Structure 1
Amino acid sequence: MDTLGLIVVVGAALFFTYTNGFHDSANAIATSISTRALTPRVALAMAAFMNLAGAFLGQGVAETISEGLIDAPTGREGMIMLFAALIGAITWNLVSWYLGLPASSSHALLGGLVGAALAGTSTVYWEGVLTKIILPMVLSPVIGLILGYLVMIAILWLFRRANPHRAQRGFRMAQTVSAAGMALGHGLQDAQKTMGVVVMALVIADVEDPGGGIPVWVKIVCAVTLSLGTYAGGWRIMRTLGRRIIELDPPRGFAAETTAASVLYAASYIFYAPISTTHLITAAIMGSGATRRVSAVRWQVAQNIVAGWFITMPAAAAVAALSYFVVSLPFG
């Protein structure tokens, strides 16, 4: 039963990673597609490859997930808790994708973990939740909004005497690089989150020792699954990010992607914090778009998106808690 439980939990974790891939593919390439810097299929192929590469560039975020948030019990109880957490995260991913809402897969997973832990009366490290989840969730979009605005102001000043048509063509080409950087950062962040959950499952099943690092096979399967999900594409959310918030031009698309990618790398390598690529790119798009004029941003759409951000963790936690009780009835 324990072996079967481990297989089921790892399978659920990989399915979550796949949904994460197609849910969040818009984060890296929606702006490049909307400005016609890249064709959709070329953009998806590039994003899938860079997601795959980014997954191998670090493991600090994975360690935060596996060690710094909850104390999962060993044995069957721990497996049920992890499975319930993943059900909560998968459910919210699918709901928000269907609605075209750029919600955070990362916070769906984190909310699922906390909700399942509370339902199972396991220890939640609230200091870790506050410092590694809540504060980055609040601060990262604010930083993305401000930096996106400032980067775009700097671009406007630096290229104020440039030929407009030539500048547009140049930034359309530059967006290939910024989109690749964003996709690499997404792989760096989001693949590690699933790696952390899989490592938790292996420790619970007494297959791996705590603090033993991430097995190579875990890195490979998580990276490949995220990449395949990314290539599947999430067109509903791409329309929201690429066109509904603001009609982007290549310079503003470049500014938004460069800003978001820079913050992702800082969070991954300096703070080891699991932050949302969705929150970052959405806020950076708003910031860079506001340089045209404040009213150019469709703030009602932005308001609905931000409301979804605050709903994500409680919604995923509630589904995870319910799933825990349902699964515990026959298997607890």
Structure 2
Amino acid sequence: MDPLILVALVIALALFFDFTNGFHDTANAMATPIATGAIKPKVAVALAAVLNLVGAFLSTEVAKTISGGLIREGEGGVQIGPELILAGLIGAIVWNLVTWLLGLPSSSSHALFGGLIGAAIVGAGFAVINGSVLVSKILIPAVLAPLTAGFVSYIATKIAYAVTRKRQRNGFKRGQVFTASLVSLAHGTNDAQKTMGVITLALIAAGFQTGSTGPEFWVIAACAFAIAAGTYSGGWRIIRTMGRGITEVEPAQGFSAEAATTATILASTHLGFALSTTQVASGGVIGTGLGRKGASVRWRTAGRIALGWLITIPAAGVVGAAAALLVGLGPGGIITAVVLAVLAITGIFLWSRRSRVDHRNLHQPEPGVFVRPKKKRKARR
């Protein structure tokens, strides 16, 4: 297949992945302010989209981790070709959509890493993966980041409830607009870069860009607009899980969770850690559920989320590896892999229409989750 056509296919799939990343991760910033009523649902996704767009232009450290770190470079450049990157993207997209259908806040980032790793191992062997980068920049942050966010949000929640009176706590609703906006901005600085890194990796592998260089401006702009468009489309299934499925969130809790999430993401972005913003946000929500006296964490939902974290990299890796086997057959295999991916995407979308979730039915409980009804206040005589 002509290298230019192949790279164009990779770019198209990468931008579609970026779009799915946007709607998959809208919940990271906006689930808690929507749940507390601090921001209306449609306003929330619009605000998140704009700030994701801005954030994508602020840093490229994470993009360099992917384009010049995870996959080893040899004497001839990157050791995998654009066809394997395409296979990895198929693995990431399919797993992203499966978890979205289930309303499961899994990691888009880890889906991407898993897809790329699975495809690279099939196409070039285990040696092509830079183990030190995988461990230090991806796996260690995957464990530490949600624990850090959970601990910080736990402490912040304790402090918020200790230093304020009940009547003062509604003021945290206004604060949530600010902290949720910071999460969206931070998300743009981290997650959009992962797609930038994949496109840059494909350009280097195909010989259209020199090795060990960062993303071009047009790549940054395209990824920024793709993730913003995905964010604006909403991610209502996952917003419902994050906002109501883990714990009942009050404004002070939402403020604490968002502040902890922002601090963790920005610190990781500065260090070039390609962490999962979904894991960080989920950890923050769990931490704040533990921090408020009288609150309860729905551990069954938390367990489902944790299981998703554990299997995301291997599950996306299996799909990426299967796609790699197909693309290894030549142009016919590449076309077959893309057609099967399109059919899978279409099938998942059509299945989702059977139980549609949007801003109009967002506050209905997640299936299988019991929400304790609020006590009615007695009318004064």
- Please, what TM-score do these two structures have when normalized by structure 2? 0.83
- Residue deviations 1:51-96, cap 9 Å, x none? 0000011111000011111136869961111001100000110000
Instruction: Name the residue aligned to 1:209.
Output: 210
Instruction: Name the residue aligned to 1:240.
Output: 241
Higher relative contact order (CA 8 A, sep 6+): 1
Question: Structure 1 295/165 Cα, relative in aligned 2: closer, same or farther at 3 Å?
Answer: closer
Summarize the alignment of residues 107-118 of structure 1 with structure 2, pairs less than 5 Å apart: 107-118=110-121
Amino acid at match of 1:128: V
Q: How many angstroms apart in 2 are the aligned matches of 1:69 and 1:319?
A: 19
Structure 2: unaligned runs, 5 residues or longer = 334-381
Amino acid at match of 2:313: M
Q: CA deviation at 1:167?
A: 2.3
Q: How many angstroms apart in 1 are the aligned matches of 2:320 and 2:227?
A: 22
- Residue deviations 1:290-332, cap 9 Å, x none? 1224861101110111011001000000000000001221337
Summarize the alignment of residues 264-275 of structure 1 with structure 2, pairs less than 5 Å apart: 264-269=265-270, 271-275=271-275
Q: How many angstroms apart in 2 are the aligned matches of 1:290 and 1:138?
A: 19
- Percent of aligned pairs with the same residue? 43
Question: Structure 1 178/268 Cα, relative in aligned 2: closer, same or farther at 3 Å?
Answer: same
Amino acid at match of 1:121: A
Preserved CA contact (<8 Å) 2:253 2:292: no
Q: CA deviation at 1:213?
A: 2.2
Question: Structure 1 209/41 Cα, relative in aligned 2: closer, same or farther at 3 Å?
Answer: same
Instruction: Name the residue aligned to 2:344.
Output: none
- Root-mean-square deviation over aligned CA pairs: 1.6
Amino acid at match of 1:322: A
Give yes or no for the alignment of 1:79 onto 2:82.
yes
Q: How many angstroms apart in 2 are the aligned matches of 1:246 and 1:285?
A: 8
Give yes or no for the alignment of 1:305 onto 2:305.
yes
Amino acid at match of 1:8: L
Asked which structure has the greater CA Rg, the reply is 2
Summarize the alignment of residues 112-261 of structure 1 with structure 2, pairs less than 5 Å apart: 112-122=115-125, 123-159=128-164, 162=165, 164-168=166-170, 170-261=171-262
Q: CA deviation at 1:48?
A: 0.2
Q: CA deviation at 1:166?
A: 3.4
Preserved CA contact (<8 Å) 2:77 2:211: no
- Residue deviations 1:96-135, cap 9 Å, x none? 0000000000000011111111011241111111111111
Q: How many angstroms apart in 2 are the aligned matches of 1:284 and 1:295?
A: 14
Instruction: Name the residue aligned to 2:316.
Output: 316
Preserved CA contact (<8 Å) 1:2 1:76: no
Q: Secondary structure at the match of 2:237?
A: helix
Q: Secondary structure at the match of 1:329?
A: coil
Preserved CA contact (<8 Å) 1:50 1:187: yes
Q: How many angstroms apart in 2 are the aligned matches of 1:14 and 1:138?
A: 28
Question: Structure 1 57/301 Cα, relative in aligned 2: closer, same or farther at 3 Å?
Answer: same
Q: How many angstroms apart in 2 are the aligned matches of 1:137 and 1:294?
A: 29
Preserved CA contact (<8 Å) 1:2 1:75: no
Q: CA deviation at 1:285?
A: 0.5
Amino acid at match of 2:145: S
- Specify which structure has the higher proportion of helix: 1
- Please, what TM-score do these two structures have when normalized by structure 1? 0.95
- Residue deviations 1:164-208, cap 9 Å, x none? 23321x100100000000000110110000000010111112111
Q: Secondary structure at the match of 2:124?
A: coil
Q: How many angstroms apart in 1 are the aligned matches of 2:294 and 2:119?
A: 41
Q: How many residues align?
A: 327
Instruction: Name the residue aligned to 2:286.
Output: 286
Q: How many angstroms apart in 2 are the aligned matches of 1:131 and 1:202?
A: 25
Amino acid at match of 2:49: A
Instruction: Name the residue aligned to 1:105.
Output: 108
- Residue deviations 1:263-306, cap 9 Å, x none? 0000011x210001100010110101112248611011101110
Instruction: Name the residue aligned to 2:36.
Output: 35
Question: Structure 1 7/201 Cα, relative in aligned 2: closer, same or farther at 3 Å?
Answer: same
Q: How many angstroms apart in 2 are the aligned matches of 1:291 and 1:203?
A: 47
- Between 1:74-83 and 1:283-292, the stretch displaced more is 74-83
Q: CA deviation at 1:212?
A: 2.8
Q: How many angstroms apart in 1 are the aligned matches of 2:183 and 2:220?
A: 20
